[in-house]
Structure 1
Amino acid sequence: MFQNSPMMYDWWNDTRPKQPTIGVLSPWGAYFNHIGNELLHLKITSSTVSSGCSSPLHHSSARSVGNSLSNGSVVSTTSSDGDVQLSNKENSNDKSVGDKNGNTTNKAAAEPAVSEEPPVRVRASHREKLSDTEVLDQLREIVNPCNPLGKYEMKKQIGVGASGTVFVAHVAGSSDVVAVKRMAFKTQPKKEMLLTEIKVMKQYRHPNLVNYIESYLVDADDLWVVMDYLEGGNLTDVVVKTELDEGQIAAVLQECLKALHFLHRHSIVHRDIKSDNVLLGMNGEVKLTDMGFCAQIQPGSKRDTVVGTPYWMSPEILNKKQYNYKVDIWSLGIMALEMIDGEPPYLRETPLKAIYLIAQNGKPEIKQRDRLSSEFNNFLDRCLVVDPDNRADTTELLAHPFLKKAKPLSSLVPYIRAVREK
C-alpha cells in the first residue's frame, strides 16, 4: 500500500493482482479517448442515418493523456467545462425603400444576402499548474522551520516506496509513537499533489481521518511529514485474508461515513475511497487516509477531472461527466462489495476491460445477494445508483437501518491481530 500515495504508509504484501500504474505512454489515456471517440461516432452515425443527410461534423481533438500515478490511480487532464459562445447581435432596424413606381421594398430583401460568420467558440480557461518553485514557496509557509532530529527518534522502518521511506518514531520525552515519512522533495514527480495532501491534512482534522501532526523541510530537500501511526495496517489485509460478518462490515462503513460526512460538509471530495486507504488501529480504530486526490468544490458545483483508482471509480467519472461528492458514495459501495467478496468487481479482468464494463454496465452484480440481509442489500443499492442525483448521500446512509447492525469496533481486533501475526 505504501507506494499508493505520497503520504501513505504500509508494510503488507497484497496477494491480489497488482493495480496498474498509469504512465504517459500507457494505453489508459488512449483508451479514454478511443471510447469517447467511438461513442461520438455512433451518435453521429445514428443522427446522419435518421436525417437522411450529412453535415460537417465538429469533433474536438483528443488531448487526454493519463498521467503516471504511483498508486495505480488514473488522472486525465481533459476538461469538459462548457464552452462560451459569442455571437454578433443582429440589426433589427430594417428600413423600407421605394422604387420609381412608388412601390416599397424591404432594404434587407433588396440587397444581396451576406453570409454570416459562424459564432466563435471560446474555450474556458483553466488554472495553471504550479511551478516547482511556487510549490516550494507554499510548502515553506506550512512546515516547521526547526530541525526535527532532536524531537523524533526513529525506531524502525515500516515502509519504503518510490516517493520516500516511512518510519515509526518516538517523540522525545514522551511515550507517544508517530509515523514519519521522509521524502527527497526535489525528486518528487508530483510535488503539487503532495502539497495538496499536506494542506488538506493540516486544515481538516477528524477522529476518523489519519491526522497530520506537523512537517519539516530540512536543507530545502529532506521533507518530513509526521502523522498518526496506526499499527493495525490497512483494511485490505483484513479483507483479503479474513471474512468479516455484516456487523463488522457495518462498523467499518459507519466509521468511513463519519469521515466522509465531515469532508463533504467542508466541500471536500476524497475521490479515492478503497480498502487500501482505510487504516486500522490495534484497538479497532478505523481512519481514512490518502488525501492526495482530494478536491475542494463550491457547494452545488461539479468537477470533471478523471481521478481515482479504476476498479472503484464511478460511472460518471469513467464516462467523463461532471461529478460531485457522490463519487465517494459509489466507491464506498464498491468497498463494501470488496469486504464481502475479498476484492472489488472486475479485479480479475484486464484493467481496460474493467473500465469498459463499469462505464457501460454501471451497477455491478452483487454476487452474494441471496446471502445478505435485506438491509445490507438496500444499503448497497443506495450506494450503487448509476445516476448520482438519485444516489444516497452521507446523511441518508448514516441513518440507514443497516448501520444499526454495526458491532463494536473491538470486534475487529481479533481479525486485525490474526492478520498482523501471519
Structure 2
Amino acid sequence: MATAPSVPRVEGYSLAEKLGSGSYADVYKGYKKGGKEVVAVKCVVKNKLSKTALNNLISEIEILKSLCHTNIVKLKDFCWDDTHVFIIMEYCGGGMKKFAKDFCNSLCWLFFIYEKRILAIFDLKPQNILIASKKLQILKIADFGLAQYITDDDKNSVLKGSPLYMAPEIVLKRQYDARADIWSVGIILYECLFGKAPYSSKSFDELFSKIKANKPIEIPSNANISNECRNFLKGCLQRELSKRFDFNSFFDHPFVDLAHAPSSDSINKATEHLTKAIEDDKLGNCKEALQSYDEALKYLIPMMHSEVDSLKRMSLRKKINEYINRMETIKSQVSGES
C-alpha cells in the first residue's frame, strides 16, 4: 500500500495543510516557531528541477527580493536542505480574485510600478492572483517563476506560461514581448465576466486548434457590460500584436482608471472634491454637489480597498457610506422637484 509523501521539514517553521501543487513544488501553510506569524512555504524538490526550472526558480527569488509592492506577494525568506529549496512568503488567505473591475484596476496599477522597465510576468492566470485575506480585499500576484524585466527592444520565442491564458504569438512560437501580458489580462477579465475563457477546451490539441484557427475572439453582443469595458477587452484581445494595445494605450484607457489609483496624494484630491461638494450642497447646487461627491468617491473607494489598517479601513467605509447616502438624498430631492 502506497504511503502519502511526508511533509518537508523547514528549520524555524511548522508546516500545516497543503495549499497547492505544481510540476516541481508544493505550497504549504506554515507557522513561524515561537510566534503566531502565518506564512506560505513553497517547497521545491531539487531532483525534479531541470536546468530551465532551476533558472526559473532563481529568477523568481531574485525578482521577489527586488520588488516591494502592495499587490505582490512578499518574500520573507528562503533556505534549502539536501532535498528541497524553501521559499517563505506572505500568506494570502482570501483565495482568488473574482470581481472583474477591481481585478483589472489592481493588476494594471501593478504593471505601472516601474516607469522605465516593464516587468513581464508571462504566466498570468487566475491561480496566481490571490487576495490578502477575507477582510483585506487586496489583490496579490504570486509565482514569478517565468517573469523577467524586458525593454521595448527585447523579443522572445521560447514557450512560456499556461496555454489557456497565453498570447497566440507565444503558443505559435513566434516572437513576442511584454504585450503578451496584456493578452493574458484580457483573457482573465473575459473569464471573470462570462464564466469561462474564450478558448476553453477539453484538451491541448483542441486548444491549439482554436488558437491556430486565427479567428478573432467574439465578445457576446448581449453582454451586460459598459462600452468602456467592451472596448478595453477588444484592445487587449487583438490576435495581431501590431493591433493590440501597447502599454500607453493600456494605461490610458478609461476602464483602467489609473488616475484614481491609491497614492500618497489620493486623500488630498478626495478632500478637495469633498470640500467643493459640501459647499455646493449647502448652496443648493445639486448637480455640482453630486458631481463632486462622485469624484471624491473615485479616490476614496480604491483607498479603502488598499488600506491595510483595519480601523482606518472601517472609518473610510463609514465615510464612504455617508457620502453615498447623501448623494441618494440629493437625487431624491431633485426627482421630487422635477
Structure 1-normalised TM-score?
0.54
Counterpart in the other structure of 1:8: none
Q: Quickly say closer, same or farther: Cα 1:325–1:382, change in 2 above 3 A.
A: same
State the Cα distance separating 1:376 from its structure 2 match.
0.7
Q: Quickly say closer, same or farther: Cα 1:315–1:157, change in 2 above 3 A.
A: closer
Asked if the contact 1:261–1:395 (Cα under 8 Å) also holds between the matched residues in 2, the reply is no
Structure 2 distance, partners of 1:350, 1:156, is: 30
Asked if the contact 1:263–1:270 (Cα under 8 Å) also holds between the matched residues in 2, the reply is no
Counterpart in the other structure of 1:311: 164
Task: Identify unmatched segments of 5+ residues in structure 1.
Answer: 1-146, 239-247, 412-422
The letter for the 2-side match of 1:356 is: S
Aligned: 1:382 with 2:235: yes
Asked if the contact 2:13–2:32 (Cα under 8 Å) also holds between the matched residues in 1, the reply is yes
Task: Identify unmatched segments of 5+ residues in structure 2.
Answer: 1-8, 258-297, 307-338
Q: Quickly say closer, same or farther: Cα 1:161–1:334, change in 2 above 3 A.
A: closer
Aligned: 1:231 with 2:82: no
- The alignment partner of 2:177 has SS state of coil
**In the TM superposition, what whole-angstrom CA distance separates every residue of 1:179-227 from its partner, at most 9, and x where no partner exists?**
1122332333432222222222222332211222210012x33321101
Q: Which has the larger radius of gyration?
A: 1
Counterpart in the other structure of 2:111: 260
The letter for the 1-side match of 2:67 is: Y
Instruction: Spell out the pairing of 1:165-176 with structure 2 (5 A cutoff).
Output: 165-176=26-37
| Greater mean deviation of Cα atoms: 194-203 or 180-189 | 180-189
Structure 2 distance, partners of 1:341, 1:203, is: 36
Instruction: Spell out the pairing of 1:244-283 with structure 2 (5 A cutoff).
Output: 248-262=99-113, 265-281=116-132, 282=134, 283=136
Q: Find 1:221's aligned residue among 71, 83, 100.
A: 83
Q: Quickly say closer, same or farther: Cα 1:357–1:153, change in 2 above 3 A.
A: closer
**In the TM superposition, what whole-angstrom CA distance separates every residue of 1:111-139 from its partner, at most 9, and x where no partner exists?**
xxxxxxxxxxxxxxxxxxxxxxxxxxxxx
Aligned: 1:188 with 2:49: yes
Q: Quickly say closer, same or farther: Cα 1:313–1:192, change in 2 above 3 A.
A: same
Counterpart in the other structure of 1:133: none
- How many residue pairs match? The answer is 252
Q: Quickly say closer, same or farther: Cα 1:394–1:369, change in 2 above 3 A.
A: farther
State the Cα distance separating 1:386 from its structure 2 match.
2.6
Structure 1 distance, partners of 2:305, 2:151, is: 38
Q: Quickly say closer, same or farther: Cα 1:274–1:148, change in 2 above 3 A.
A: closer
Structure 1 distance, partners of 2:137, 2:153, is: 35
Asked if the contact 1:263–1:269 (Cα under 8 Å) also holds between the matched residues in 2, the reply is no
Compute the RMSD of aligned alpha carbons.
Answer: 2.8
Aligned: 1:347 with 2:208: no
The letter for the 2-side match of 1:213 is: K
Counterpart in the other structure of 1:359: 212
The letter for the 2-side match of 1:270 is: I
- The alignment partner of 1:371 has SS state of coil
Counterpart in the other structure of 1:414: none
Identity of aligned residues (%): 27
- The alignment partner of 1:262 has SS state of coil
Q: Quickly say closer, same or farther: Cα 1:195–1:390, change in 2 above 3 A.
A: same
With CA pairs under 8 Å and 6+ residues apart, which has the higher RCO, 1 or 2? 1
Q: If each structure's helix is expressed as a fraction of its own residues, which one has the higher value?
A: 2
- The alignment partner of 1:397 has SS state of helix
Counterpart in the other structure of 1:101: none
Counterpart in the other structure of 1:325: 178
